Each structure stands twice: as C-alpha cells, then as structure tokens.
Amino acid sequence: MKDKKNIIIVIISVFCILAFFIFAGLTGAISITQIPASFLGAAAGAAITAVVTLLLLQGQTRAEEIKERNVKVFEKKSVIFSEYIDNVWKTWEDSSVTDEEFKNLIGNYYKKLMLYMNESSAKIIGEQLKTIGKFAGNDDLSRDEQEKLQKALINIINTLSDEIPLGGHIDPDLFKTLGEDSKAAEIRSRRSNNSFKILGIKFNSELILKSNPKIKCWTIDDKNKVKDENGEEMSISALASRELERSANGFLEFLYNGKALSELRGK
C-alpha cells in the first residue's frame, strides 16, 4: 500500500514537470531548443530529490514501526510482570504456599514470564522458585523456613522490578517489620470489633475483672454494654478503664467463665 502511494507521488511529480516545460515552451519563456536539456536537468534533480525523500520517509516509517512495536511489547511485559507480582504477594499473605499457588507460579513462569525476561533474570527467578517449592504444601513452617520463603518471594519481586523497571526494591527487614505491624493491626481490629453476640455471651451474664475478681458486672445488651454492682450502665471498656484508672480494653480485662473475653472469639 505504501509502495503504491510512493509510485503515485513520482508519477504526479513527473507530470507536473512536463506540464511546466510545455507551458514554458508555449509562452516563450524557454526556447524550444533549450527544453530537452532543461527537462533532463530538472528531471534528474527531481529524481534525486524523490529518491532521497523516499529513503528518508522509509527510514522514518521503519523507525516509527520499531518504536510502536517496542511500546506494545513493553506494555504487555508490564501487565504480565505486574500480575505475577500480585500473585507472589497474595502467596505470602498467609505466610505459606499451597501446592496450587506454587503450581500457578511455575506455570506462569514458563508460559508468560520467560518470553519477556533476559537470561540472567530468568535464572534468578528459577532459583527462587526452587526454594519456594521446598516449602509448598506445608502449613506448619518454622520461623526460619518462613524467612527463607519470604526472602525468595522478595527476590522475585525485586528482579521483576529491575526488568521493567518499576523503581525501588523491597527491603527485607522493612518488609518483615511492616508484616508484623500489619498482623498486630489485624489483631487489634478483631478485638475492637468484638461484641457479646459474636462471643456467644448471653444477656445478664456475669463478668469478672481479671486483676480483681471482686469487681463484677453483668451484660445488658448483645454489643458491649454492662451494668456494675451499683446498677450503673456503661460500655465494658469504660468500666475497665474506670476500675484500672487507665485506658483499657474491656474485652481483654474481663473474664467469662474463667477466660478473657477476647479469647472466646471463634470458639
């Protein structure tokens, strides 16, 4: 299609040159005897110009095609790498790797990643997958095994980040600290969302302060309200804070049948 357009341009150019010399000969601007020589000179110049222009256009077109192809490859590569990183992250969320998760990591490594990685990166990720395979299917990993698994997953993410490149690396120590903080926040969230209904504690159940068994209260709703021995009503945390003279979580400080309320969750 492009070659056909180039040919049409050349034909139009030649036609325009012929038209010019015919007009010049008819008007006497150029003598009849000078027309052949002038035509040949003009034609040669036009031909050279046309050839040079065509070469430049073709070179520019090829460069644009290569650039466009590279952009599409990079976009596809970025999507595949980002999806793999998401899968790696989800794998680590429960600090273990199931056989199914490991199977998916291996499958996507061969089917997708290897098509877009250089040899060095492919080798690094392959070695990390070998390490992960040692712990796949084991839900009872020791702390040392969890750290080795975590390190392998982080190395995969950092290697893919270098390939795109996405930016900075994950720091293993910071990753570990943030992971512990996240778990602590999750525990606090579960505790803050406690209620008598969730814990299976019925209306008018007796609760005892852990640090002072003489202090008792009784539940008056299915959320967190209690009444003390004087009949005063308040939240269980407000009562715990009053008795302990500090900020306190009542679900941690009060006992029901000898167990802290927070320990009853999920039972």
43 & 94 share domain: no
pLDDT band at 34 (very low <50, low <70, confident <90, very high): low
186 & 238 share domain: no
Structural domain count of the chain: 3
Select from 44, 72, 100 the last residue of a domain: 72
**Is the pLDDT reported for residue 250 higher than 70?**
yes
Select from 192, 211, 235 the last residue of a domain: 192
pLDDT tens, 64-121? 767 777 678 778 888 888 888 888 888 777 677 888 888 999 998 888 888 888 888 8
Least confident window among 62-71, 130-139, 257-266 = 62-71
184 & 93 share domain: yes
171 & 218 share domain: no
pLDDT reported for residue 13: 62
pLDDT band at 231 (very low <50, low <70, confident <90, very high): very high
210 & 248 share domain: yes
Take residue 91 and report the two structure tokens written for it. 């794998």
Which domain does 226 fall in, by range?
A: 196-264
Tokens 């029901």: give the residue: 256
pLDDT reported for residue 217: 97
142 & 123 share domain: yes
Residue 23 φ/ψ, nearest 5 degrees? -65, -40
202 & 252 share domain: yes
Q: Pick the residue with more confidence: 183 or 49?
A: 49
pLDDT band at 137 (very low <50, low <70, confident <90, very high): confident
pLDDT band at 243 (very low <50, low <70, confident <90, very high): very high
79 & 176 share domain: yes
pLDDT reported for residue 203: 94
| Residues of the chain above pLDDT 70, percent | 64
pLDDT band at 33 (very low <50, low <70, confident <90, very high): low
pLDDT tens, 151-208? 888 888 888 888 776 555 666 665 555 455 445 445 555 555 688 988 989 999 999 9
157 & 239 share domain: no
3-state secondary structure the chain: CHHHHHHHHHHHHHHHHHHHHHHHHHHCCCCHHHHHHHHHHHHHHHHHHHHHHHHHHHHHHHHHHHHHHHHHHHHHHHHHHHHHHHHHHHHHCCCCCCHHHHHHHHHHHHHCHHHCCCHHHHHHHHHHHHHHHHHCCCCCCCHHHHHHHHHHHHHHHHHHHHHCCCCCCCCHHHHHHHHHHHHHHHHHHHHHCCCHHHHCCCCCCEEEECCEEEEEEEECCCCCEEEECCCCEEEHHHHHHHHHCCCCCHHHHEEECCEEHHHHCCC
176 & 201 share domain: no
Select from 72, 90, 113 the last residue of a domain: 72
